[in-house]
Structure formats: structure tokens, C-alpha cells
Amino acid sequence: MKTALWLYLFLFLAFFDLHAQYPILTPFAISLGAGPAFIGWMMGMYSLTHLPGNLLAGVLVDRNGSRRYIVFSLTAAGAILLLQAHAQLPWHLLMLRAASGFALAFLSPACMTLLASLSSDAETQGKYMSGHGIIHTLASVVSPAAGAYIVHKAGYSGTFSTLGWLLIATGLMALFSVPKHSPALSPVSIPQALQDKPARTAAVQAKVTKRYYLLPFFVSCSQGVLFFELPLSQGKDGMVSTGILLSLLSLGALATLSLLFLNRLSPAARISAALLGMALCFFTLAAFTSIPPGVVLFLLGAAKGVLFPAMASLFISLGSGGHLGRTFSLQSIAMSLGAFAGPVAAGQLRDYVSPYFIAFVLLMTALLLLPPRGDNKPAPYRTGLNSHAA
């Protein structure tokens, strides 16, 4: 538990730092002379450069443990923010966001792998993942409004410098607090009924697993659309309102993340319900503009609070012994591809169709592509630890 608490602290500081940038990046890019299409590419490039980092992280985290990659991601991203404080041209921002995307690609697989390795009990793993989501959400509740407020007081340069030093300090704290080696992982125990038909089981498992990776892709696409369109819809001088709306989104997620009894429900049921709820929220944003966006974003956040712990539990169950880092790496790759495609598509099609409607179509597609429940019943990911070792 001590390791989990330290990790939650570092995650809170890191997520606070990252989410504080969401309401200010678009206005900052506009102040440098960037247009909507360029902003879409800038946001997408950050996610595109996640890919090589994710590919490396999957192998390296399994081989060397999580600590060094957590420290690297935090300190490197902080240094890049210090440089971002002095950006003068749109392409400066594009290159720095690309570098930041690579540096931070190691953080999520390393943290999720370390958290998952702290227990071999499926329900406890689900609670750790919910705790991860709660910490993420707590940071994102206050950080968007805080970022906009800091810009109002200190300007863009002062804000990026402050956030950069905070990340570097967090990385140094992780250097002295995170264990040097992640707990050893052992293979998932396979029920005897599945052992009787190994060839059929392997074929079905491979087919289902590939389809599951479509989930983070489409979800990340829709999130990329939201983070692209929301600041633009509020206008150049709408940083504070954007920050407040993003905080309401996070408050909605916090409301459902706090309902830990939801971990007793199957991941498939939670994922299906959450996808439908998110899709309806995006349709409302596109078609019913008279409804206050704050209400819709709160409900959208509530659906996200159900979805992400369920997806984490699902991917833990799909990991095999010693390969959990690779599993989360592939999930991160799918999310990076989605976060690249979403804002780029929205930037190109914004003059023809509401980006929110694009997000609605993406989420309904994800819902339709969910594998039938009978195709796969994931077993809990087993580690070589007893649950009290956390």
C-alpha cells in the first residue's frame, strides 16, 4: 500500500501539470499565429509521437521495471515545458509538443504495470485502477481552471515555466520513492476447461483481444475531438470558461469513480453502458445547443468514470505472465493513434460537420464492435505476490 500511495501522489502532481495545459494550449497556439487546421495537427502530433515511446515502453518496463521510466518521463517532460515557455512560432510549439509526446509515452505503461503488480486479486486490482482514476480525476478537476488562472496572472511563459519545474520536482521525488524493481509477475492460471482445447482457446483469445484494442482507439478519438473543439467553441478569450467546463467534466468522472461497488460488475457491462452514455452526450452537444454544456460535460465525465477503470480491468485480464507492460503498451498505442486521428479529422471536417457528431459516430461504432460477451471471459491477472504485499 505504501508504494501505491507514493505512486498516487506522483500521478496527482503529473496529471495536474498536464491537464492545466488543456485550456491554454489552443489560445497560446492562436497567439503564435496558428489556425484551426494547424492546431489539429499540433494536438495530433503529440499523440503520434507516443507510438515509438509506447513500443519501447512495453518491452523495457517488463525487462527493467517501472521506476526509471517514471522518472525519465516526468523530468524530460518538465524540461520540454521550460523550453515551451520560450516558443515564438507555431512550428516551435509543434516540435516541442512532439517531443513531449514521446517523453510522456513511458509514463502510463510504467505506472499501470506497477499498480497492477501490487496484488494478484482481481477485485483489489480493480480498486487500484479505480484509485488511479480517482487521482487522475481529482487532479483534472482543479487543474484546467488553475491553468487558466495562472495564465491570467503570469502569462503563457510564466505558466509553462511553473508547470515545467513542478514536473521536474515530481520526477526527482519519484527517483527516491518508487521501488527500483517491480514485483515479479507470474502467468495467469488457466481453467482446466480451457486447457482441454488449447488451439481453439488461443485462436478465440487472439481474435477477441485484437477487437478489444479498438475500444481505446475510438474512445481516444472522441476525447481528442472534445479537447480540440471545446476551446475553439469558447473563443480566444474563453480560457476561463473552458477551464470550468473541463473541471465539470472531471467532477462527473469523480462522482462515478468514487462508487467502488461498480468494480463488482463485469467489465463488459460497464464498458457497454459507458460507451452508450458518452455517445449520447456528444450527440446532445452537436444537436441540442440550448442545453447548458456544463450539464452535458458533467454527464460525459460520469460515463468516463465508469469506462476507464473497466477498460483497465479488462486489459489486466488480457495480460499474460511477465507481459503486462506490453499489454498496457499496446493499449497506449491504440489510444495514441486515436488521439492523433481525432483532432486531425475534426480540424479538417469542422467546416462541414460538427466535430461532436464525429465523436458520436466513433463511440457508437466502438459499441457495435464490442465482442459478444460469450466470446471471452477474462481471468484475473495473477502475480507472484499475495494481496497483502501491497
Question: Which of the residue ranges 146-160, 200-214, 225-239 has the most confident prediction, judged by mean pLDDT?
Answer: 146-160
Among residues of the chain, what percentage have pLDDT more than 90?
10
Among residues of the chain, what percentage have pLDDT more than 70?
79
- Whether pLDDT at 92 is above 80: yes
Average pLDDT across the chain, whole number: 76
Which position has the higher pLDDT, 118 or 352?
A: 352
Please state, in angstroms and rounded to a whole number, the distance separating the CA atoms of residues 298 and 215. 22
Question: Is the entire prediction scored with pTM above 0.75?
Answer: no
- Whether pLDDT at 78 is above 80: yes
- Whether pLDDT at 181 is above 70: no
User: What type of residue sits at position 126?
Assistant: G
- Whether pLDDT at 58 is above 50: yes
In the three-class reduction of DSSP (H, G, I as helix; E, B as strand; rest coil), residue 376 is classed as: coil
> Which region, left, alpha or beta, applies to residue 119 given φ > 0 means left and ψ of -120 to 50 means alpha?
beta
Q: Which of 314, 329, 252 is nearest to 50 (CA)?
A: 329
Count of beta carbons in the 10 Å neighbourhood of residue 200: 10
pLDDT at 65: 76
- Whether pLDDT at 86 is above 50: yes
Count of beta carbons in the 10 Å neighbourhood of residue 369: 12
- Whether pLDDT at 222 is above 80: yes
- Angle among Cα 74, 76, 79 to the nearest 5 degrees reads 110
Local confidence band at 237 (pLDDT 50, 70, 90 cut-offs): low
**Residue range 357-372: average pLDDT?**
85
**Residue range 142-164: average pLDDT?**
82
pLDDT digits (tens, 9 = 90+) for 257-314: 777 677 777 788 888 999 999 999 999 998 888 888 889 999 999 998 888 888 877 7
What 8-state DSSP symbol labels residue 265? S
Angle between helix 324-349 and helix 355-368 axes, rounded to 10 deg: 140
- Whether pLDDT at 341 is above 60: yes
pLDDT at 337: 84
